[in-house]
């Protein structure tokens, strides 16, 4: 499946909950921070690499998640999380998000598709979307501890389950930054391929433009109207 940089933005947001770019978690109140986030421990320069595949073994991609820097936002210490997704055709999409660990909120989101200018998306969510994300967090519950073996090795993990989405995740405090070792859902699974990312650097290049939703919709409409070759 080919994913646009906009789809990857959604993926990165979701990564805060399960590290499968699947579900970005913002707007969480400090006192409501769910237990599943306890493995989140960012270390600048450190990261991990995952192999992500569909249930049929197709649409495989690698995802590198690393911490590339720190910043101050609203009086808090924030960390820049970088997500680099490369599909089985070699196409790469880079995204980075500024996250404050104390309240687990995302403050900035910047994405860049291969060969395209970098775009910054609004990080704030509308109330309905925010509530949906908070409910998703609350749906996760612990089912104990297990030893899990993935391509990167064997880990003692906390096992989490979301009965509504039929998703399971295994996390370890030995893996930075999100702790995820493995995640399984209906349409595929993600496994830790390597936790040896070190001295990670910013992969976003060139000037960053503000995302214009109206302009994107116009471009999509123009593409639909173009005759098929």
Q: Tell me the pLDDT tens digit for each residue of 42-82.
A: 999 999 999 988 877 777 889 999 999 999 988 899 999 99
- 97 vs 73: CA distance, rounded Å: 12
Q: How wide is the angle at C-alpha 4 spanned by C-alphas 71 and 110, nearest 5°?
A: 15
The residues, ordered by sequence, that sit 6+ positions from 7 with a Cβ below 8 Å of its Cβ are: none
pLDDT digits (tens, 9 = 90+) for 86-139: 988 888 989 998 988 887 778 888 989 888 899 898 766 555 555 555 556 667
pLDDT at position 214: 67
- For 85, counting Cβ atoms within 10 Å of its Cβ (0-12 exposed, 13-18 middle, 19+ buried), the class is buried
Q: What percent of the chain has pLDDT over 90?
A: 32
Handedness of CA 133, 193, 195, 198 (dihedral sign): negative
Please check the confidence at residue 157 and state whether its pLDDT lies above 90: yes
User: Of 217 and 49, which is predicted with more confidence?
Assistant: 49
| pLDDT tens digits along 178-195 | 899 999 988 889 999 987
Among candidates 36, 1, 45, 46, which has minimal Cα distance to 16? 36
Average pLDDT over residues 214-228: 64
Q: Are 167 and 184 in contact (CB under 8 A)?
A: yes
Tell me how far apart the alpha carbons of residues 226 and 202 are, in angstroms, rounded to a whole number. Answer: 36
Q: Which long-range contacts (CB under 8 A, 24 or more apart) does 144-147 make?
A: 146/170
Sheet holding 118-121, edge to edge: 140-150, 153-162, 167-171, 180-185, 188-197, 47-54, 61-73, 76-87, 92-100, 105-113, 118-121, 208-210
Give the mean model confidence (pLDDT) for residues 24-31. Answer: 32
Question: Could you tell me the sign of the dihedral formed by the alpha carbons of 91, 68, 134, 53, in that order?
Answer: positive
- Tokens describing residue 68: 């590339």
Count of alpha carbons within 13 angstroms of residue 184, beta-carbon side = 9
3-state secondary structure of 30: helix
- CA-nearest of 96, 111, 104 to 34 is 104
Range scoring the smallest mean pLDDT among 50-64, 112-126, 149-163, 209-223: 209-223
Q: Which domains does the chain have, with CATH numbers?
A: 5-225 (2.50.20)
Average pLDDT along the chain: 77
Asked if residue 30 lies in contact with residue 76, where contact means CB atoms within 8 angstroms, the answer is no
Give me the pLDDT at residue 71, please: 94
DSSP helix/strand/coil, 85: strand
């Amino acid at each position: 499946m080919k994913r646009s940089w906009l789809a990857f933005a959604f993926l990165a947001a979701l990564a805060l909950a399960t590290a499968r770019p699947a579900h970005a978690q913002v707007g969480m109140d400090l006192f409501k921070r769910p237990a599943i986030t306890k493995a989140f421990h960012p270390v600048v320069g450190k990261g991990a690499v995952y192999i992500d595949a569909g249930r049929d073994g197709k649409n495989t991609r690698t995802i590198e998640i690393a911490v590339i820097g720190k910043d101050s936002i609203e009086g808090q210490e924030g960390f820049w999380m970088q997500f680099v997704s490369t599909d089985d055709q070699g196409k790469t999409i880079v995204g980075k998000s500024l996250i404050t660990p104390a309240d687990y909120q995302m403050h900035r989101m910047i994405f860049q598709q291969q060969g395209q200018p970098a775009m910054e998306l609004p990080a704030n969510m509308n109330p309905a979307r925010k509530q949906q994300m908070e409910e998703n967090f609350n749906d996760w519950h612990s089912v104990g501890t297990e030893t899990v073996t993935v391509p990167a090795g064997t880990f003692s993990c906390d096992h989490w389950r979301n009965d509504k989405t039929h998703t399971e995740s295994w996390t370890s405090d030995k893996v930075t930054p999100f702790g995820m070792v493995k995640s399984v859902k209906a349409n595929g699974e993600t496994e830790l391929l390597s936790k040896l990312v070190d001295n990670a650097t910013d992969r976003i290049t060139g000037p960053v433009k503000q995302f214009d939703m109206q302009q994107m919709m116009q471009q999509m409409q123009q593409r639909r109207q173009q005759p098929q070759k």
